[in-house]
Structures are given as structure tokens and as C-alpha cells.
Structure 1
Amino acid sequence: MGKKTIVIGLDGTPYSLVHKLTQQGICPNLSKLLSAGSLREMKSTHPAVSSVAWTSFMTGKNPAKHGVFGFMDRIPNTYDMYYPNSKHIQGKPIWDILSNYNKRSVVINVPSTYPASEMNGILIAGFVAIDLGRASFPASIVPALKEMGYKIDVETQLIHESKDKLFDDLFLTLEKRTRAILHFMKNEVWDLFIGIFTETDRLHHFFWEFTERNDPKYSPLFLDYYKKIDAAIGKIMENIDNDTTLILLSDHGFCALQQEVYINHWLKEEGFLHFKTTPPKSLADMGEGSRAYCLDPGRIYINLKGREPHGCVEAGNDYEQLRNMLISKLTGLKDPVTKTTIIDKIHKREEIYHGKYFDRAPDLVIEPKHGYDLKGAIYKEALLGKGVFSGMHTYDNAFVYVNHKNITQHSLAITDVTATILHSLDIPLPGDMDGVNFVKWN
């Protein structure tokens, strides 16, 4: 009988939260796992958004190799945007690599896998799937999914009706996701099984602040939710043997959101960005002389001559001087109320990206201080604001767990997890993979 590996993702669950919940006795099944394996802190991607991070997870590549840089990306040589989906991903996901070795995979709810592609096994696509039929391969699994009442995602718009309704849907979606994961674990043949709980990310976005301030109503519900997650992990553990490699991970960390920061407003106020209309409808309304613009979350593009339709910045010295000026000015940006510095680091694209699609990468990627969520909205009339979210993603504080004690010790990033999975199944690493610090054991 061949080796088997199961990967369970808890979208946006921080390393520090896993420690806290296990130490407080909230998650006994996780605590049991930690005593028998190894938990490590892990870095996400730049930027730390699920579409980029989970694509890096499934391919083992950085964005300049797989071609996805955000939830929305630029159509090259235009100011138009598109939402990347599975058809835009360059490079093979891990289940296609395994298929070359006659390994069968079951993949449930990984973001950026919609529409579902043919594969050796079963795939149920995750965010931003909108149609269950197009989200499922093979089509023959759709009746079973409908019979169990499978939910593609949490109905987050319920927050506008009431927090209680959203919490009800969070619990319902978790129940349906758990049921589907257990069903296909038990009833399908697989060498690799991947199941992602994206519900944790939704929980954190809307309720993180409430648990941090120990809200009398929603903090207990937050903990109850993790008890349900822990119970699901317990049921998964019951259905795997001691020879199966179990990997748990998150795609990024999380923290409380203090303010949203509208970088295009700052660029406009500083004279780097102009619009022909008020309010502008899209980046196509950029006015003459605009030198830089921002896409979510904190991706700055220089309006480069020869690359952008109305680019005015010359390549070479002008480009470098502008990047350095933006870094210098943005690094000093402060919250006008608290006087807190907003920006932690600013990365030039050549420092964090490498690969065939490097020319599509943002020129600068801003990494904010915890609490300041960078936005690319073009119509805001103030630097700071706040919407319905109370939690935000972080580049640090993600986690990875492997049910082996004697693993290597080094700095880890999410791109290393794919190589770790291949190692667990004795599959050689492709030469173009970025998993140089993958987790190894004897």
C-alpha cells in the first residue's frame, strides 16, 4: 500500500491563535496533534491575500511564476482589470504533478480553483466559485453534493442584516464543509487529500475585534466556532491511520483592523495621481501626468512609458528615482490621529518576485503595520476609513503543522508546503519549484 498524505487548511488562522486555543483547552484534538508532531510559524506571500497564497501553495511557486498577483490583476498594456481564476494559473498544481506518477487526489475548497479542471480524482472548487456544476469535477459528484446541502461559501452579505444571521451561516457552512470532507475521505480512493476550511477567514474578518475585546456575546461564539473546527479535525483524525502524513496549515495570519488606508487618495494628495473625472469610475479615468497608482492591497504600479497606455515615466533613472521617492515618503506615513507609523516595509518587485511573469508584477508592494489594511479604492476622499471588517490579513503569523517530530528547523513560507507534500509521497521536486526550505523528516 502506497504512502498517503492529507492536508487540512484553516484559512487565515494565525500561529499565535493555534497556541492560545490549545493552551486554553479550547481545542483538545489540535492539542493532541501538537504533542505528537511539529508546529512551525510560516510566512505568507506578497501580498498576503488568499488568491495569491493558495495559488502559491498549490503550485509551489511565487507569483511571478504562477502569474497571480492579487484578487484583481491588470490586463497587460491596459488599465483594465480581471479576476484571476484557475484558467489564469501558470504552472501545474500539485495534483497534476502527482497524476504523472499515477497518484489520485481529492481536492475540496481550495481558493482559485474555479472553474474546476479535469484531474485524476475529484475537485470541488473554492472561492470565488459561483456555480456548483462548474465548481465540480467530475460532474457525477454534483448530485451527492446537492443531496448533502453543500455550501460553496459563507453568505457574508448577511452581515448587513445582522451579525447573528452571519454567525448562523458560518456554523451551517462549516457543518456542510465538514460533511463533504468526511464523505469523500471515506468513500474515495486517494493518495493526496486536500480540504480547506475558508470559514475561519470569514469568521476573522467580521468578528476578530469582538474576541480581542472579549465581547460578552460574540467572543464565546468565536471560541465555540473553533471548538467545532477542532471537532471536525478530530473526526478527520479518526479516519486516517498512523502511517498517513497529516499536514495542517493556514495561508496567512490575522490581526485586528484599526483603519483601512486608501493609498490612491494619498497618491492623489501628493501629486502622483490625477483623474479626469470626479469621482473616477476606473483607472481608465487617470489624467495626464499621473505617475503611479495602487491596486489592492498596497500594490503600486508606476505609470511607465511603453507599458501603460498613457505612461509618462521613463524607464531607467526616472523610474528608479520615483520608486525611491515613493518608498521614502510612504515609509514616513502616519495615522493622523494616533501618530502611529502605518507602513512596516516596502518591497521593490525584484526583491520578492522572480519568474517568467515578472513583467506583470507590481513595481512596489507595501507591507503595512498590523492594524492598517491597505486598499486600492480610487474614489475615497480621506486617507483612512473603516467598513464592516474588524480583522485583516498579515504576512507573518501563518502556521504549518506536520505529524512528525524530527523535522528540519528553518524559516518557512507557504511555497515550501507543496515541496513538503511531494517529499511525504516520495515524489521528486520539479526543478522550477520555489520550495527550497521544505519540511523534511527521516
Structure 2
Amino acid sequence: MLAALAADDAEWAPVGRPLAALRAGSTQEVSAAVRACARLAVPVVPRGAGTGLSGGANAVDDCLVLDLSRMNRVLSVDPENLLAVVQPGVVNNDLKAAVAEHGLWYPPDPASAPWSTIGGNVATNAGGLCCLKYGVTRDYVLGLEVVTGGPAGEYGTVVRLGRRTTKGVSGYDLTGLYVGSEGTLGVVTEITLRLRPAPRDQPHTVVGAFDGLVAAGRAVALCTARGLQPAALELLDRSCLSAVEEWKHLGIDAEAAALLLARVDGPGEAGVAEAAAVAAAFEEAGALWAERSTDPVEAEALFEARRLAYPALERLGPVLTEDVCVPRSAVPEMLARTEEIGTRHGVHIATIAHAGDGNLHPLLITPPGDEAARAAAQAAFEELLTAAVDLGGTVTGEHGVGLLKRDGMERELGPEVCAMQHAVKASLDPLGLFNPGKAIGEPKL
């Protein structure tokens, strides 16, 4: 059991040997566990569904793995104020289904939405397909209940952060600080979320086929330059499409080098006009063809292929997953550098992307048991991080730093900003109890 709870889905991230695991059922149990761990100097590693891709939920030696998956209740839905209150173990798609019964919508939709939990989404500030237009997890978190230590009181203290109102500027934004902190500042035990009314209009899907990744990147840049804002703008290369088709037989043609999938959800004639403008931008950027799908089943199959790309490629061998994000105008150049890095290192890189917001997921695939290929993939991985930073981007758009990207984060932020982050960690977690060694790493003395 301990081994099953010791790691997330990050390939080759180091894994320690936990001392024990607790499947907590309440905030009170979490508080008691944290209090005991502080007294015994036992590190606490929070865990949700274990779907992370950066090693953020990996055990460290002699830690307590604090599994929050049993805390999986939607505590309340408030249609009048467009709010929901949930426990951290609620699965993203289960929340969507619960609020849909009230005519409401929770937009953040990572590809792992059928399995990943809201607590894990909060820990990494997850985004997804719809974040181009509707924002990421942080945009929907109004308040948190957190078991913490440090200045708030002794370890195990339960605090409430944030608000239930649309506006509020009392003090520092501590809620925003905890979103994306990867469990390094405390354990989130309850989340208050903003909701939206459910969309009423049938979205339009526009598909463009391209003879290369860079041409697809130019189409993305052109859409941005023209002020077009589809709800989603996703990229899949031929490797991804072929892997999904071989696995699921969705009837998708994988002949093109890359596909762009746009979902436009504007109302009425405005939506039709924007879909036509997106298709025109695809064609002007050099698409082999661009069409608006009139078959909702076909359109859903294409977006299902996007969601299934990662697990489909996992079937081929170990996958080291990137999560770089660059300015949208730099997408063509980042795609070109990805191809060049893969070729130079002899690494098979398949690419999927939330292309509309510049968030690229190059997937580095290696044959099982091939140590030389593994070393080449890890070298290419680091070069991709450096390339993203050089283009004005970031080493992680939504997966988190975890264990895999600490060096890349230091290159991105620089020593002064890293020192500020270490100071925040030391203030809120003076014992270094919460998820040590992850995300911001340890201060360099």
C-alpha cells in the first residue's frame, strides 16, 4: 500500500520511502496528523489522485503521505451567488456534473479532469483546454481552509483564507499564494470556488491540418494578432493522433503533420463569424485545409483525442512530459526549437499543446529499459526548459515545479526572487514540514 501511494505519474522523478500513510477523512484528522508530525519531526507530503507529472506528490524518506482522496464531498452549491464549497478529494469532472444540475459550470478542465482532484488542481494551479478564454484554477478559487503552522499558530492550526464575495482586498492575497504552492505551505482541506452559468449555445469546432508544427504555430500567432479568442485552441501532432487512433479507433485521419482544433462558443451569428475568421486565419497561415465541423459527434471525437493523447503515448514507453509556456507570438519559434532539440538528441518528441495560450507539452518518449535514450531525453528536457525561458516564457504553465523543474525554475526566477520565495516558506513553515524539497526547493546556505 505504501508503495502505491509514494509517487505520482512523473517519469523518473526520485521517490523516497514513506514512514506511514494516512487516508484522512476530515479536517480534524488532518489537523491532528500535522500536529503529531510536527512533534515528531516527520515530514508531511499531501496527495490527491496522484495524477501529477512533476513529482510534486512523491514521498520523501520517512515522511507521512497524507492522502486526501477520501475527503471527496461537494459540501454545497449556491446558485444564487454562483459558488460551490468542496473538499480537496472531489474529482474535477464530478464537480462539473454536480454544478451542472443547477445550470452552472466550473470551467478549469485539465486533460486529467476525469481523474484529477480539485485539491491537486489547486496545488498546481491547473488550467486545461478552456483556460485560453476562461482562465485557470486561481481565477476560480475564492477561499480556502488550510491546516498550517508558522505565524498562524502551532502546527495543526486550521485557518480560513479568502472570502465569498466577488470583490475583496483585505490584507495580502494569501488565498492566491496557496494556489500553486504544491503543498509546501500547508494542507488545503476545503475550497470555495467561483462558478459560471452553463453555456447555452452549441460551440463551433474549427479544424485545420498543417504540413508541419511551425506552420501550425504561425496560425496560432495569427489568431492572436487578429484578436480572435476561441474558448480552446489545441494542437496535436501526427505522433499523438496516430497513438490515439491505434488505441481507441476513433476514426481520426492522422495523415497531416499537425492539427489545430479550435472551439468557438460565441452566441448566434457572432459565433459563426468568429469560427469563419479562425478558419480564414488557419488558411492564411498555410493550412493544407481548414473546415468548420458541422457534426458534433465528430467534433467531440477530435477533442477526446486531445484528452487521450498522453495516456495513448504512455502505452509506447516511458514518457517525460514537458509543460513550458511561452508568449503566444513565440509559439512558432518554440515549436521549431522543440523539433531541433529532439533531432539533435535523437529523442522522439510528440507534441500536444494548449497552443492558444502558448502552453506546450512536448512528450519525450523512450524505449523501455534503454538507459542511453533516457539520458538523452533528460538532456533534451533541460534544453527545452532553457529554450522556453530564453523566449520570455516559463518552465511550467500548469503541471507545477515538483521535483523535475527546480533547476529550471531557478534559471527562470533568478537568485533574488528565489530568496523571496524561501523567506515565505520559512515564515509559514519554519520547521520545513510540508512537502520538503518540492517546488521552491531548499534555501542555499
Q: Same fold (TM over 0.5)?
A: no
Give the TM-score taking structure 1 as reference length: 0.28
Give the TM-score taking structure 2 as reference length: 0.28
Q: Which has the higher contact order (CA 8 A, sep 6+)?
A: 1
